[in-house]
């Protein structure tokens, strides 16, 4: 299996956004404070998250290691503004989001957050290049600009020779690398991944995880990645788990 060969990060071809004033710290990419999430169960309530606090800086990768049913996916959905918490606040790049209208939450998701799931969810009728270019075109880039960045990302991930292949013509590992490129296509501030290698064999999983973490470091995006694999988690900057509904740092 081919692996990333480009030592430089793929360029962000969008116009640069405003920079923080000199002497000030940029806001955290993600900050959860006192996040609570409960679900109705019969006549009672099942509390999954019980006051979660978590911060992730730009350029930092954090592994979320916890057993099934502990609330990992719920935490990722709330962090990614796909689900509302019952209490607490979610800050994305310094912006509080709990009380924002759905349209604004959607805008922040599109502009600032990338998602990778266990299954790639690629569009089967489109090529690898088109799958990665499409989110950028939806955001407003021209087709030429979008395809240029898509090519940069896919080549960085070792898929330069597979640009015109459709998902059915790619291996499982190649499909997931396309999904990673798609998640990072709009140069998000935060990457959220839910068991991104859980559907792959160990060797392929190692290649894909390595490609993802290498690209995360190269682009400076903050990453929260849920995984059962302790060996893969050990490669990240920090490791956390969920215990009794709260985030706990691991050594």
The predicted-structure confidence for 162-198, as pLDDT tens digits, reads as follows 999 999 999 988 998 899 999 999 989 999 998 888 7
Query: Quick check: 94 and 20 in contact, CB under 8 A?
Result: no
The answer to whether the CB of 132 falls within 8 A of the CB of 153 is: yes
C-alpha to C-alpha distances, 234 to 140, 156, 209, nearest whole angstrom:
38, 23, 12
Residue pointed to by tokens 């059962």: 228
**Whole-structure pTM value:** 0.84
Q: What pLDDT is attached to residue 9?
A: 56
pLDDT band for position 146 (cuts 50, 70, 90): very high
Q: What is the mean pLDDT of residues 213-220?
A: 83
Percent of the chain with pLDDT over 90: 59
């Amino acid at each position: 299996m081919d692996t990333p060969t480009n030592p430089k990060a793929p360029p962000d071809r969008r116009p640069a956004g405003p920079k923080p004033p000199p002497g000030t710290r940029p806001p955290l990419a993600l900050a959860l404070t006192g996040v609570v999430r409960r679900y109705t169960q019969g006549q009672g309530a099942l509390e999954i998250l019980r006051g979660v606090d978590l911060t992730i800086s730009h350029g930092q990768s954090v592994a979320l290691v916890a057993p099934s049913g502990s609330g990992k996916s719920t935490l990722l959905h709330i962090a990614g503004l796909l689900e509302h918490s019952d209490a607490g606040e979610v800050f994305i790049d310094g912006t509080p989001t709990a009380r924002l209208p759905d349209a604004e939450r959607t805008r922040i998701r599109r502009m600032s957050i990338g998602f990778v799931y266990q299954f790639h969810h690629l569009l089967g009728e489109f090529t690898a290049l088109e799958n990665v270019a499409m989110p950028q075109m939806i955001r407003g880039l021209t087709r030429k600009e979008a395809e240029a960045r898509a090519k940069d990302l896919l080549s960085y991930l070792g898929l330069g020779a597979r640009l015109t292949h459709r998902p059915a013509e790619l291996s499982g590992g190649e499909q997931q690398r396309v999904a990673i490129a798609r998640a990072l296509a709009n140069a998000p501030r935060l990457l959220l991944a839910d068991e991104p290698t859980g559907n792959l064999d160990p060797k392929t999983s190692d290649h894909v995880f390595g490609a993802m973490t290498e690209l995360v470091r190269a682009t400076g995006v903050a990453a929260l990645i849920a995984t059962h694999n302790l060996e893969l988690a050990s490669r990240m900057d920090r490791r956390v788990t969920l215990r009794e509904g709260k985030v706990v740092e691991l050594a």
